[in-house]
Amino acid sequence: MSCTVAVIQTNSRDNIAANKAQIERLVQQAAQDGAELVLLPEMCLTMDGAQYAQLAADRTVPEWFAALAARYGIWILAGAVPQPCPDDDPRVRSALLVFNSQGDLVSRYDKVHLFDVDVADSQGSYRESERFAPGEDLVVVDTPAGRIGLSICFDLRFPEQFQALRQQGAELLVVPAAFTHTTGEAHWEILLRARAIETQCFVLAANQCGWHDEKRRTWGHSMIIDPWGRVLGSCADEIGFASAIPDLQSLRDIRAQMPLKRS
């Protein structure tokens, strides 16, 4: 059974209400274009770190995504939103929330690899661990598009995570992100295509784009890639979405013709 999927590219700033309006407009457009499942970028509600703790404490946040999914009858993978830690850690988790077309929350993945790096851009230093606690568990979820392995942004640089998701039966891999302009220009597409080729999975990658404040700029170029490494649909560096229909039979053919998983 074929299923149209879409990756949505946003430019999220500090105004949560404006960001919600942007998300809903793009979800509506993707649904009208035939998408049955959409992937949103990392921190799609805001890129303003000062608001993350407030968002995590707000129980209406998951409810808003649930209502959006039910309103348009579409699966929504809410790229990453701040959520409470399940333990006593005062930090929050960066969580990918999966809602089905009835608005039920069916799965959650907490980002494992935190972005604590120095980058030669206007911001210079990124320390996610100051606000976020890392997750521990890998997650695969069944959807109308196939079996999807979940990840978030910086996870992309750790191929062992994606191999583990393939071992758990993933046919599609999702990468919601806020990849910086500097690192994205250098590595974004290369890494995405490598993950697709080495796991023989479809890859859906939804990135933030543009300037978010006077220092933070992201790369955009959201895309959908097939198991052979071919780009099936992509955005440039502006707000929008791209869609494609993952052909799971072609995936099975590629895996049979070039078997990489051996006992």
Active-site annotation holder among 20, 36, 111, 209:
111
85 is catalytic: no
- Other CB atoms within a 10 A radius of the CB of residue 101 amount to 17
- In the block, which residue shows the tokens 């996870």? 155
CATH number of the domain enclosing 130 = 3.60.110.10
User: CA-CA distances (angstroms) from residue 159 to 26, 192, 212, 242?
Assistant: 30, 10, 29, 25
E-assigned strand segments in the chain: 5-9, 37-39, 75-84, 92-99, 105-110, 116-118, 125-127, 140-143, 146-150, 172-177, 202-207, 209-211, 217-219, 223-225, 231-234, 240-244
Query: What is the pTM (predicted TM-score) of this model?
Result: 0.97
Type of residue numbered 180:
T
- Residue 20 among the catalytic residues: no
Of 20, 36, 42, 171, which residue is the catalytic one? 42
Q: At what angle do helices 159-167 and 189-199 cross, to 10 degrees?
A: 30
**Rounded distance between C-alpha atoms, residue 208 and residue 9, angstroms:** 6
pLDDT at 263 over 60: no
What is the sign, positive or negative, of the torsion defined by CA atoms of 41, 43, 44, 46?
negative
Q: What is the pLDDT of residue 2?
A: 84
Q: Is residue 19 part of a domain?
A: yes
Residue 100 lies in a domain: yes
Q: 263 in a domain, yes or no?
A: no
Residue-level pLDDT at 217: 97
Within a domain: 204: yes
Single-letter amino acid, residue 27: V
Q: What is the pLDDT of residues 144-173, one digit of tens each?
A: 999 999 999 999 999 999 999 999 999 999
Is 159 a domain residue?
A: yes
Q: Averaged over 52-65, what is the pLDDT?
A: 97
Report pLDDT digits (tens) over 79-106.
999 999 998 899 999 999 999 999 999 9
Number of domains in the chain: 1
- Does 42 participate in catalysis according to the annotation? yes
**pLDDT range class, residue 56, cuts 50, 70, 90:** very high
pLDDT of residue 262: 65
Dihedral over Cα of 115, 117, 120, 122: its sign: positive
Per cent of the chain over pLDDT 70 is 99
Q: What is the pLDDT of residues 217-248, one digit of tens each?
A: 999 999 999 999 999 999 999 999 999 999 99
The strand order across the sheet containing 146-150 reads: 140-143, 146-150, 172-177, 202-207, 223-225, 231-234
pLDDT at 22: 98
User: In angstroms, rounded to a whole number, what is the distance separating the alpha carbons of residues 55 and 77?
Assistant: 17
Q: Name the catalytic one among 44, 153, 201, 235.
A: 153
Q: How many Å apart are CA 236 and CA 252, to the nearest integer?
A: 30
- pLDDT reported for residue 1: 59
262 within some domain: no
In a domain, 138, yes or no: yes
Structural domain boundaries enclosing 14: 5-257
Q: What's the mean pLDDT when you consider all of the chain?
A: 97
Q: Does 80 map to a domain?
A: yes
CA Rg value for the chain: 17
Query: Mean pLDDT lowest for which of 43-47, 53-57, 86-90, 185-189?
Result: 86-90
The average pLDDT across 12-27 equals: 98
Q: How many whole angstroms separate alpha carbon 30 and alpha carbon 213?
A: 27
